[in-house]
């Protein structure tokens, strides 16, 4: 039943944006308020936003995300509710550990580096990654007092304060900053790494906190397959397909770019361009699940201040390159999840995942699939590099780092422009202002990766909460 269906007796609800946030919101609305007529408006010609999977010659290519954190229940819960529980796969035990780059060469990250703090002494003492002084400084973290000040601080300030400059450059920036492809001098601890602040607050030291957690975990070892990250067997495209398949026919409308959302006669007037012409429709309720800068543009007339706050959330861009090789053309053992490259190495790639090692079945027998990441805060210009330039950079890097003896059999390049919101210092204060202003707009909610977590589980949870808030507000149906 769509919003224009004459049989519709409940509120007309528009969900704007067809990424995982918007699709989850639409599905949650359909489940929890079956009488509502939900319409999902997506500007592009495909759904899923940055979730995009392609299948080619027996390879499963993830063009965007490839994993979700299991620790949060929301992604697993959603998959189960859609009948995908059996499709969740753990990371392969062969993908334990990570390589880093040190003076141009691959080196294993020291074992036992949980939550960025060393849990085991020997691997830290033996690693050539840090100088003797750098190791002493990192180890001294155990004895440093907690921070007394309340305000936010950057990841770099936090890391230098607790572990010293070398650990920041060699361990913390590539491990933590890499998640956001961000600048550690700007990323804010409170929004981007609250678990590290909590560890400092509760235990006084991250080293102590990780050791206590390790001791607890040793008493109840994880079941086989209970890995930190998981994926779907055939990629996140499965999740997108399942969400779409569970929505009533007529709910989804692609190729509909929303340009403005304005309050008009006690309803929301959603206007934009689709199928080569302008459209304008009235809805009782709206969930805006488009990226923040687009949400800001849409809401400029409804609340100019909210629009400015939304447009002020910074983003970075990145390029993901799936590269397929014959296994015997890559001499490296590929005995890890991948390689992370510290900014100080000044290399064009930020990371490379050994995709078909991490998740079985991503490449056919005798082949291997590698996924390189470029761009981000360290190399923003690479988003505009040509396909030829990007392919050449990746091929050269994988030859240098992994000893690849030939060019990839094929590459698939995906550009994600402004797709990664950056939670800079003070982000939570901005989000509190956004939420306060959005709360003053009746029957309208925001969801998406720009607010309280960029990960897929966070986006799913954010969308579910937006639906819950919307359903708690009694709508006034507009006369048809
Ligand atoms: C390369 C990359 C790798 C990542 N890896 C991981 C990972 O491994 N694990 C993890 O948990 N997270 C990962 N993330 C983060 C996570 O995937 C995203 O934060 C999340 O998928 C965002 O979903 P979303 O629906 O909020 O936004 P989006 O996916 O950006 O979707 C927003 C949608 O809104 C649409 N839209 C925009 N403007 C309009 C308009 N005017 N009208 C209508 N529609 C509009 C867009 O076309 C898009 O489809 C990664 C992100 C990227 C970019």
Among 261, 349, 456, 462, residue to substitute to test ligand 1 (most atoms within 8 Å of Cβ):
456
* The model's pTM: 0.94
How many other β-carbons are positioned within 10 Å of the β-carbon of residue 220? Answer: 7
Q: Which of the four pLDDT bands, split at 50, 70 and 90, describes residue 18?
A: very high
Indicate the domain borders of the chain: 12-49+236-313+423-472, 112-219, 315-421
DSSP letters, 423-440, are -BTTHHHHHHHHHHHHHT
Query: Which residue's CA is the closest to the ligand 1 atom numbered 50?
Result: 65
pLDDT exceeds 70 at position 463: yes
State mean pLDDT over 359-372.
97
Residue 68 Cβ < 6 Å to ligand 1: yes
Report CA(49)–ligand 1 centroid distance (Å). 5
Output the CA 181–ligand 1 centroid distance in Å. Answer: 15
Evaluate: CB of 455 within 6 angstroms of ligand 1. yes
Three-state SS at 230: strand
Phi–psi pair at 258, nearest 5 degrees: -80, 130
Residue 358 Cβ contacting ligand 1 at under 6 Å: no
Residue where the block lists tokens 């990839």: 408
100 C-alpha to center of ligand 1: Å? Answer: 27
Q: Give the DSSP per-residue string, 182-225.
A: --TTTBBHHHH-HHHHHHHHHHS-HHHHHHHHHHHHHHSPPPTT
Q: What is the model's pLDDT at position 117?
A: 66
Check pocket membership of 291 for ligand 1, CB cut-off 6 A. yes
What 8-state DSSP symbol labels residue 463?
H
DSSP secondary structure string, 73-132? SHHHHHHHHTT-GGGEEEPPGGG-S-EEEETTEEEEPPTTEETTEES-HHHHHH-TTS-H
pLDDT given for residue 114 in this prediction: 63
Pick the more confident residue, 114 or 127: 127
Place of tokens 């989804």: 252
The predicted structure's pLDDT at residue 113: 73
Is the Cβ atom of 66 under 6 angstroms away from ligand 1? Answer: yes
Q: What percent of the chain stands above pLDDT 70? A: 95
Question: According to the model, what pLDDT value does residue 115 have?
Answer: 60
Query: How far apart are the CA of 148 and the centre of ligand 1, in A?
Result: 36
Give the pLDDT band of residue 233 (cuts 50, 70, 90): very high
**How far does the centroid of ligand 1 lie from the alpha carbon of residue 188, in Å?**
21
> Is 294 a pocket residue for ligand 1 (Cβ < 6 Å)?
yes
* pLDDT above 60: residue 6: no
Q: Tell me the best of 290, 337, 412, 421 to mutate to test the pocket of ligand 1, counting ligand atoms within 8 Å of each CB and taking the most.
A: 290
CATH class assigned to 12-49+236-313+423-472: alpha beta
Residues 122-155 pLDDT 10s: 777 788 999 999 999 999 999 999 998 889 999 9
**367 has a pLDDT exceeding 90:** yes
- Sheet with 285-288, strands from edge to edge, namely 252-253, 37-41, 12-16, 285-288, 444-446
**43-57, 99-113, 204-218: which range is least confident on average?**
204-218
* Lowest mean per-residue pLDDT among 4-13, 128-137, 275-284: 4-13
pLDDT at 283 > cutoff 70: yes
Q: What mean pLDDT is reported for the chain?
A: 93
End-to-end CA distance of the chain: 15
> For residue 480, what pLDDT band results from cuts at 50, 70 and 90?
very low
- Ligand 1 atom closest to the Cα of residue 259 is 41
Predicted confidence (pLDDT) per residue in 57-103, tens digit: 999 999 999 999 998 999 999 999 999 999 999 999 988 899 999 99
Within 352-450, where are the H helices?
355-358, 387-402, 427-439
Q: Kindly indicate the confidence band of residue 121, based on its pLDDT and cuts at 50, 70 and 90.
A: confident
Rounded Cα distance, 439 and 462, in Å:
15
Beta bridge partners of 270: 261, 281
- Cα 208 to ligand 1 centroid, rounded to whole Å: 36
Q: What is the pLDDT of residue 221?
A: 72
pLDDT of residue 2: 46
CA 20 to ligand 1: nearest atom: 25
Which of these, 258, 181, 190, lies nearest to 418 by C-alpha position? 181
pLDDT exceeds 80 at position 7: no
pLDDT, position 5: 52
pLDDT in tens, 268-279: 999 999 989 999
Ligand 1 centre distance from Cα of residue 340 (Å)? 23
Measure 52 CA to ligand 1 centroid, in angstroms.
10
Which of 476, 474, 471, 478 has the alpha carbon at shortest distance from 29?
A: 471
The CATH number of domain 315-421 is 3.90.660.20: yes
- In this structure, the strands spanning 99-102 and 105-108 are antiparallel
For the stretch 403-432, what's the b/e string if a residue is b when 16 or more beta carbons lie within 10 angstroms of its beta carbon? ebeebbeebbbbbbeebbbbbbbebbebbe
Report the distance separating Cα 160 and Cα 164, nearest Å. 4
Nearest ligand 1 atom to the CA of 447 is 26
- What is the largest distance, in Å, between two alpha-carbon atoms of the chain? 75
Average pLDDT over residues 262-290: 96
| CA proximity to 394, closest of 318, 340, 320, 317 | 320
Average pLDDT over every residue of 15-30: 98
Say yes or no: CB of residue 419 within 6 Å of ligand 1. Answer: yes
Share of the chain above pLDDT 90, in %: 84
Res. 171: pLDDT tops 60: yes
- The answer to whether the CB of 50 is under 6 A from ligand 1 is yes
pLDDT band at 218 (very low <50, low <70, confident <90, very high): confident
Q: Is the model's pLDDT at 116 over the cut of 80?
A: no
Ligand 1 within 6 A of 454 CB? yes
Around Cβ 95, how many Cβ atoms within 10 Å?
23
CATH number among 1.10.150.120, 1.10.3110.10, 3.30.70.980, 3.30.70.141, domain 112-219: 1.10.3110.10
Q: Is the dihedral of CA 163, 169, 171, 172 positive or negative?
A: positive
239 lines ligand 1 (CB under 6 A): no
Is 245 within 8 Å of 251 (Cβ atoms)?
no
User: Residue 104: left if φ>0, alpha if ψ -120 to 50, beta else—which one?
Assistant: left
Mutate which of 25, 42, 50 for ligand 1? The one with the most ligand atoms within 8 Å of its CB, which is 50
Q: Write out the two tokens for 246.
A: 């569970």
Sequence-distant (6+) residues with CB within 8 A of 474 are none
CB 251 within 8 A of CB 37: no
Question: For residue range 422-438, what is the model confidence (pLDDT) as tens digits?
Answer: 999 999 999 999 999 99
Higher pLDDT, 115 or 433: 433
């Amino acid at each position: 039943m769509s919003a224009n269906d004459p049989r519709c007796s409940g509120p007309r609800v528009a969900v704007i944006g067809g990424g995982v946030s918007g699709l989850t919101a639409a599905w949650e609305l359909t489940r929890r308020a079956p009488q509502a007529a939900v319409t999902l408006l997506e500007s592009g010609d495909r759904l899923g936003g940055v979730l995009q999977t392609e299948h080619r010659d027996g390879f499963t290519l993830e063009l965007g995300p490839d994993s979700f954190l299991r620790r949060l229940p929301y992604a697993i819960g959603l998959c189960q509710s859609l009948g995908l529980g059996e499709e969740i796969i753990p990371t392969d035990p062969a993908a334990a550990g990570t390589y880093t780059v040190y003076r141009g060469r691959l080196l294993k990250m020291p074992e036992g580096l949980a939550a960025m703090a060393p849990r085991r002494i020997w691997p830290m003492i033996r690693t050539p990654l840090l100088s003797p002084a750098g190791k002493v400084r990192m180890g001294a973290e155990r004895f440093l007092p907690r921070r007394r000040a309340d305000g936010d601080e950057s990841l770099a300030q936090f890391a230098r304060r607790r572990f010293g400059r070398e650990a920041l450059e060699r361990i913390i920036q590539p491990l933590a900053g890499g998640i956001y492809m961000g600048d550690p001098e700007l990323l804010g601890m409170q929004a981007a790494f609250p678990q590290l602040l909590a560890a400092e607050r509760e235990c006084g030291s991250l080293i102590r906190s990780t050791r206590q957690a390790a001791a607890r975990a040793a008493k109840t070892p994880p079941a086989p397959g209970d890995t930190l990250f998981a994926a779907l067997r055939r990629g996140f495209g499965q999740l997108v397909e399942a969400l779409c398949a569970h929505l009533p026919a007529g709910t989804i409308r692609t190729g509909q770019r929303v340009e403005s959302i304005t309050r008009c006669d006690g309803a929301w007037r959603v206007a934009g361009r689709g199928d080569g012409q302008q459209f304008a429709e009235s809805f009782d309720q709206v969930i805006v699940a488009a990226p923040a800068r687009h949400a800001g543009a849409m809401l400029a007339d409804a609340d100019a201040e909210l629009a400015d706050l939304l447009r002020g959330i910074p983003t970075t861009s990145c390029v993901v390159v799936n590269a397929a090789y014959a296994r015997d053309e890559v001499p490296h053992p590929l005995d890890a999840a991948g390689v992370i490259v510290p900014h100080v190495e000044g290399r064009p790639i930020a990371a490379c995942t050994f995709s078909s090692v991490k998740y079985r079945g991503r490449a056919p027998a005798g082949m291997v699939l590698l996924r390189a990441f470029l761009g981000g805060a360290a190399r923003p210009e690479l988003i505009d590099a040509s396909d030829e330039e990007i392919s050449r950079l990746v091929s050269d890097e994988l030859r240098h780092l992994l000893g690849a003896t030939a060019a990839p059999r094929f590459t698939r390049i995906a550009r994600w422009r402004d797709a990664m919101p950056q939670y800079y210092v003070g982000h939570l204060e901005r989000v509190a202002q956004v939420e306060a202003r959005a709360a003053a707009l009746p029957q309208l909610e925001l969801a998406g990766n720009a607010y309280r977590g960029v990960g897929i589980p966070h986006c799913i949870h954010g969308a579910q909460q937006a639906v819950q808030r919307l359903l708690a507000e009694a709508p006034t149906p507009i006369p048809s």
